[in-house]
Structure 1
Amino acid sequence: MTDAAPAPERDLGRMLAGLEPQLRPGTYVFARADTLPPGLRPVVTVAEDEGLTVVCTRDEAETAGLRHGFAAAWITLLVHSALDAVGLTGAVSAALAEAGLACNVVAGYHHDHLFVPTGQGERAVEVLHALSAGAAGSAG
C-alpha cells in the first residue's frame, strides 16, 4: 500500500513557516492503565515497563475509572513533518518554554501533536503562530 499524501517536509524553515497549529476542543489527560479499558478511545498510547500510558479526554478517563494526572489542551501541527526531520520539536519546545508553557510532544505518522496545560491552549497557539510568522518572514 502506498501513501498518496505529499512527501513529508524535512526543511526546518519550511516546517516552521507551515506549522498551522490547530487547537482541538476538549480537555485531555494522561492516565495509567494495566490494559486498555473497553470502549476507551485514546488519542495516544505508550507501552512502558510500568504500565500503559493513555491520553484521552478527561470524561473518558473518568468514565473508565482511570486515575489521571496532567490535564491538557491538544494542539495538532498541520505541517506534514518527516519523522526523521531535525529541529522541529526543539524549536517548538523552545518557543513554548520561553513563553513559560509546558509541553508534551507526540509525533504521529503525519503530524506532531502538542499537549499543553489546560487553559493555555490559545496562548500556545499564539506563540506558535508567531514562531511560524517569524520563520516565514525570514524565508522571504
Structure 2
Amino acid sequence: MAGESDLQKLLSGMRPELKPGRYVFTTVEGGVPSGVTPLVTVAEDEGLTLVVPLEEADAAGLAYDYVAGWITLRVHSALDAVGLTAAVSRELADVGLSCNVVAGFHHDHLFVPYEHAERAVAVLDGLAHRSA
C-alpha cells in the first residue's frame, strides 16, 4: 500500500478538500481533557499540543489564539516523498497564507487561517492544474 512519491503526480493529483468546521491548536499539561477528541497530538517538552474542533476547546475551557480551516490533500503521498510540503507551503506563502502541515499515513493535512481557507483551496487547485 505504498504512496506516491513522484512530485509532479503528487501535485497534479492532490485534490485539496476543505473539511467543514473550525479547528484550534492548544496545549495541555497531562492528558487529553474529558470531552476532547484531538485530530492531532504532539508531545513537546512544554506540554501536549492538541489540534481540536473549536467547539470542543471552548467547552473544555482550553486557551487558543489560532483558528484554522482543515484541508486534506486527497493524494496518497508516500511518507518519504520529497518536495510536496515545500511546494504547497511555498505556493501558499507566495499569496501571504500561513500553513501548518501534519502528515498522516495516507494524506497530508494543512491547517490554514480559517478566514482564508477557501482561498487556500483555490490556490492549491491552481497549483494542481499547472502541474498536470
TM-score for the superposition, normalised by structure 2: 0.97
Q: Where does residue 11 of structure 1 map in the other structure?
A: 6
Can you give the 5+ residue segments of structure 1 that lack an aligned partner in the other structure? 1-5
Tell me the matched-pair count.
131
- RMSD (Å) for aligned C-alpha atoms: 0.7
Counterpart of 2:113? 117
User: Which residue pairs with 1:96 in the alignment?
Assistant: 92
- Measured in 1, the distance between the counterparts of 2:66 and 2:52 equals 11
- Match of residue 132 from structure 1: 128
Structure 1 consecutive aligned stretches of length 4 or more whose deviation exceeds 6 Å: none
CA distance in 1, matches of 2:48, 2:62: 11
- 48, 52, 68: which is aligned to 1:56? 52
Do structure 1's residue 83 and structure 2's residue 79 form an aligned pair?
A: yes
Look at both structures and tell me which one has the larger radius of gyration over its CA atoms.
Answer: 1
State the 1:39 CA deviation.
2.3
Which stretches in structure 2 are left out of the alignment for 5+ residues?
A: none
Verify: 1:23 aligned to 2:15, yes or no. Answer: no
Q: Per-residue CA shift, 1:36-61, capped at 9, x if unaligned? A: 11221111110000000000111100
How big is the shift at 1:82?
0.5
